[in-house]
């Protein structure tokens, strides 16, 4: 089975982990963090071209810390899509604020800027655009809206490390950008995360938040938690950064091959939509997400899903149900109010394009899709 994603670990990561164990310094509660933590932060900072990167121990921690750092609290409202991993919404709940779900656009499944405007109230404090599947959200419009209404932007770039918008990295447009180093992500340390910002003051606050609000010893100055990235994880992440360009290149190569193989076919049948970049949005190709059109229910998708799995292709559906239809979030009352989100949750299907997927695998995937979709015509 080709998994939907798979970490790329070489000898160098293993050696660096062994070094940490030999040195026997497994973590550091100092303000700046341990040696590998700092090395990883510097290399991600250079890659993104931002002033500060503060590592934490998950993408969820990154989002929660980011929200805390700008003072989001009970009584505030935060705008975010429901078509995301639940961590985006859970981090808002963790601050006591209210998540207000915004619909998505049907083009690339990122937050719908028209619906975004409609959802602003005098309690709204922040927007969390999610660069889902590595597709950059409509940052130009989102920044316009944030300026008009004095709202902060926290980008959920957990899936979009390496994606760019107008040649600038996602996660560097908002006041803060949040990244995940979970095992399935483009770059991993097993579990881990990072926050990026160009704001010196916020960077200082984040370093406190990840360390129980402490600065020098037991002097808790603000509310914080233990969000420190362990040195073993930082060691893996630091080495992974050396091959980030390579990782992104192979993903791109696989995705372009798949698109080329499907392109002519798509002109004939009208039931399949493939992901498309434009001159502004460049993807990291974290996932290659298809959408099956023209069917009211998910019959066609379920058929294709079954066939791909039977043939050893580890597809995934991100996300069905969307957050607002999960048992916990239903009580917020958004059912039926996010039509494009509910539509997408029934039509999307993501394919693996990670560096362990070969050209032959891609050809097999394309052939299978063509065969099964032709039968369904
Ligand atoms: C993975 C992910 C997160 C959370 O990251 P963790 O490291 O798993 O906590 C948040 N948002 C999105 C969109 C994600 O894909």
The domain boundary residue, chosen from 196, 226, 243: 243
| Mean pLDDT along residues 84-98 | 98
Q: Is 63 exposed, middle or buried (0-12, 13-18, 19+ CB in 10 A)?
A: buried
Domain harbouring 343, CATH code: 3.90.1150.10
With a 6 Å cutoff on the Cβ, whether 352 touches ligand 1 is: no
With a 6 Å cutoff on the Cβ, whether 156 touches ligand 1 is: yes
Kindly state whether residue 5 falls inside one of the protein's structural domains: no
Kindly state whether residue 223 falls inside one of the protein's structural domains: yes
**pLDDT value for 376:** 76
Question: Is the domain of 349 the same as that of 204?
Answer: no
Asked if residue 124 lies in contact with residue 100, where contact means CB atoms within 8 angstroms, the answer is: yes
**pLDDT value for 267:** 87
The domain boundary residue, chosen from 210, 225, 243: 243
With a 6 Å cutoff on the Cβ, whether 362 touches ligand 1 is: no
What domain count does the chain have?
A: 2
**pLDDT value for 377:** 67
Residue 81: in which H helix or E strand, if any? strand 77-81
With a 6 Å cutoff on the Cβ, whether 159 touches ligand 1 is: yes
Q: Is the pLDDT of residue 172 over 80?
A: yes
The domain boundary residue, chosen from 210, 228, 243: 243
Helix axes 11-23, 231-240, angle to 10 degrees: 150
Atom in ligand 1 nearest the alpha carbon of residue 182: 7
Question: Is the domain of 201 the same as that of 250?
Answer: no
Question: Is the domain of 265 the same as that of 196?
Answer: no
pLDDT-based confidence at 375, cuts 50/70/90? confident
Question: Is the domain of 191 the same as that of 310?
Answer: no
With a 6 Å cutoff on the Cβ, whether 59 touches ligand 1 is: yes
Q: Is the pLDDT of residue 268 over 70?
A: yes
Question: Is the domain of 250 the same as that of 234?
Answer: no
Kindly state whether residue 311 falls inside one of the protein's structural domains: yes
Host domain of residue 229:
11-243
pLDDT-based confidence at 270, cuts 50/70/90? confident
Question: Is the domain of 63 the same as that of 176?
Answer: yes
Domain harbouring 97, CATH code: 3.40.640.10
Q: What is the pLDDT of residues 187-208, one digit of tens each?
A: 999 999 999 999 999 999 999 9
Q: Is the pLDDT of residue 296 over 70?
A: no
Kindly state whether residue 341 falls inside one of the protein's structural domains: yes
Mean pLDDT (the chain) is 97
Tell me which of 182, 188, 190 to substitute to probe ligand 1's pocket, judged by most ligand atoms within 8 Å of the beta carbon.
Answer: 182
Residue 209: in which H helix or E strand, if any? helix 200-209
Main-chain phi, psi angles of 313, to 5 degrees: -100, 115
Kindly state whether residue 1 falls inside one of the protein's structural domains: no
Question: Is the domain of 36 the same as that of 89?
Answer: yes
CA proximity to 197, closest of 77, 92, 54, 87: 54
Residue 57 CA: distances (Å) to CA of 54, 251, 316, 367: 10, 26, 25, 41
Question: Is the domain of 103 the same as that of 211?
Answer: yes
Atom in ligand 1 nearest the alpha carbon of residue 60: 9
Question: Is the domain of 19 the same as that of 30?
Answer: yes
């Amino acid at each position: 089975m080709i998994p939907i994603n798979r970490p790329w670990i070489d000898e160098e990561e293993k050696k660096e982990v062994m070094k940490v164990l030999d040195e026997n310094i497994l973590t550091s509660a100092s303000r700046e963090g341990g040696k590998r933590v700092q090395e990883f932060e510097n290399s991600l900072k250079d890659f993104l071209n931002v002033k500060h990167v503060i590592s934490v121990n998950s993408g969820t921690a990154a989002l929660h810390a980011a929200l805390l750092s700008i003072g989001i609290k009970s009584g505030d409202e935060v705008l975010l899509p429901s078509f995301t991993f639940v961590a985006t919404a859970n981090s808002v709940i963790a601050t006591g604020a209210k998540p207000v779900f915004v619909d998505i656009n049907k083009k690339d499944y990122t937050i719908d800027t028209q619906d975004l405007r409609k959802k602003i109230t005098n309690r709204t404090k922040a927007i969390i655009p999610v660069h889902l599947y590595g597709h950059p959200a409509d940052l130009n419009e989102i920044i316009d809206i944030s300026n008009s209404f004095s709202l902060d932007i926290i980008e959920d770039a957990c899936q979009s490390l390496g994606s760019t918008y107008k040649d600038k990295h996602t996660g560097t447009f908002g006041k803060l950008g949040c990244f995940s180093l979970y095992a399935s992500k483009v770059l991993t340390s097993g579990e881990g995360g990072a926050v990026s910002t160009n704001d010196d003051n916020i960077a200082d606050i984040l370093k406190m938040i990840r360390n129980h609000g402490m600065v020098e010893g037991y002097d808790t100055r603000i509310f914080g938690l233990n969000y420190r990235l362990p040195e073993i994880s930082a060691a893996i992440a630091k080495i992974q950064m050396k091959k980030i360009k390579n990782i992104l290149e192979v993903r791109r190569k696989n995705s372009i091959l798949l698109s080329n193989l499907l392109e002519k076919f798509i002109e004939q049948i009208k039931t399949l939509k493939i992901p498309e970049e434009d001159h502004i949005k460049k993807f990291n190709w974290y996932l290659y997400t298809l959408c099956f059109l023209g069917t009211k229910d998910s019959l066609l998708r379920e058929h294709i899903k079954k066939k791909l799995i039977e043939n050893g292709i580890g597809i995934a559906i991100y996300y069905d149900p969307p957050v607002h239809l999960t048992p916990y979030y239903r009580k917020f009352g958004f059912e039926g109010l996010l039509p494009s989100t509910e539509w997408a949750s029934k039509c999307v299907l993501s394919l693996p394009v990670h560096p362990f997927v070969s050209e032959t695998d891609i050809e097999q995937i394309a052939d299978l899709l063509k065969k099964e979709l032709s039968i369904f015509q």
